[in-house]
Amino acid sequence: DSGVTQTPKHLITATGQRVTLRCSPRSGDLSVYWYQQSLDQGLQFLIQYYNGEERAKGNILERFSAQQFPDLHSELNLSSLELGDSALYFCASSPQGSGGWSEQYFGPGTRLTVT
Amino acid sequence: KNQVEQSPQSLIILEGKNCTLQCNYTVSPFSNLRWYKQDTGRGPVSLTIMTFSENTKSNGRYTATLDADTKQSSLHITASQLSDSASYICVVSSAVSDGNNNDMRFGAGTRLTVKP
């Protein structure tokens, strides 16, 4: 158990809908990272927040957005969902703000299915 | 072109055998290289992290090597077990972030299957 929690575990929704995925980092970690992993594909880094502020961006679509709240939990919002958005979405956390240097601890993931 | 290339894409070995996974990168300037193990449907777990001054780092039956001159890394698994069946992901970090302040470059992973 990494100490990172994600909810929900599974989510099934229809095309065009909007969903929110939630992540609680390990106690004391200030950074939260979001990743997308489509079936049989590699991890795609989406976005990082550090202490409430956006820190780094990866391959995040404009239909997707995220935020980190004062209690350091984070939410990833996915809107106008398409079939291709079906994937595992992972959250990771780390103590520091540097993605490249920090040890990242991954949550169990949210499996999103868009029908 | 991806800056981190992993090979082979997939590998099947018998339990008890050794294997070596490769990671070649073009990331420059180099900062560090990490290997992750990802069980199917679960989040990745860090195995090793290496900076340019480290040639070898071990974590149990996992040994990672790094040649910063040739920009190659390998992950050697000794006496494989069924539980080693997973994807192994190489992540290389640059000392310079891109325009989006992102310094991490991900390989596509090698899927290892260990059979009894």
Chain A contact for B107 (CB, 8 A cutoff): yes
Q: What is the per-residue pLDDT for B1?
A: 64
Residues from chain A that touch B89, judged by Cβ atoms under 8 A, are 42-43
Percent residues over pLDDT 90 in chain B: 73
pLDDT number for residue A39 = 79
Q: Is the pLDDT of residue B96 over 80?
A: no
Percentage above 70 pLDDT, chain B: 98
Q: A61-88 burial string, b = 16+ CB within 10 Å, else e?
A: eeebebebeeebbbbbebeebeeebbbb
List, for residues B4-53, the tens digit of each pLDDT value.
999 999 999 999 999 999 999 998 888 899 999 999 889 999 999 998 88
Question: Under an 8 A CB cutoff, do B103 and A98 touch?
Answer: yes
Give the chain A residue whose CA is nearest to the CA of B33.
Answer: A100
Which candidate from B41, B43, B94 shows the least CB-CB separation from A100?
A: B94
Residue with tokens 């080693």: B84
Strand partners, B7: B22
Q: Average the pLDDT over B97-111 and give the result.
A: 83
Region A83-88: mean pLDDT is 95
C-alpha distances out from residue A36 to A48, B25, B95, Å: 13, 22, 24
Asked if B77 and B61 count as a contact pair (C-beta separation under 8 A), the reply is yes
Nearest-angstrom CA–CA distance, A7 and A28: 19
A111 vs B1, more confident: A111
Pairwise CA distance, residues B62 & A110, whole Å:
29
Q: What is the mean pLDDT of residues A19-35?
A: 96
Q: Burial of B74 by CB count in 10 Å (0-12 exposed, 13-18 middle, 19+ buried)?
A: middle
Residue numbers in A near B42 (CB within 8 A): 108-109
pLDDT at residue A42 is higher than 90: no
pLDDT of residue B94: 84
**Residue A101 pLDDT > 90:** no
Confidence of residue A59 (pLDDT cuts 50, 70, 90): confident
Buried b (16+ CB within 10 A) or exposed e, B44-58: bebbbbbeeeeeebe
Distance (Å) from the C-alpha of residue A79 to the closest C-alpha of chain B?
22
pLDDT at B52: 83
CB pairs under 8 A between A and B: 62
pLDDT band of A97, cuts 50, 70, 90: low
pLDDT at B104 > cutoff 90: no
Cα A29 to Cα A35: distance, rounded to the nearest angstrom: 17
Examine the pLDDT at B2 and tell me if it is beyond 90. no
Beta carbons of A33 and A23 less than 8 angstroms apart: no
pLDDT confidence tier of residue A53, bands split at 50, 70 and 90: very high
Mean pLDDT of chain A: 92
pLDDT of residue B98 exceeding 80, the answer is no
Mean pLDDT score, B89-110: 84
Residue of A nearest to B88 (CA): A42
Polymer length of chain A: 115
How far away is chain A from the Cα of B54, in angstroms, using its nearest Cα? 15
Tell me the C-alpha distance between A51 and A25, whole Å: 11
- The residues, ordered by sequence, that sit 6+ positions from B111 with a Cβ below 8 Å of its Cβ are B9, B10, B11, B86, B87
Check if B96 contacts A (Cβ < 8 Å): no
The helix/strand/coil state of A4 is: coil
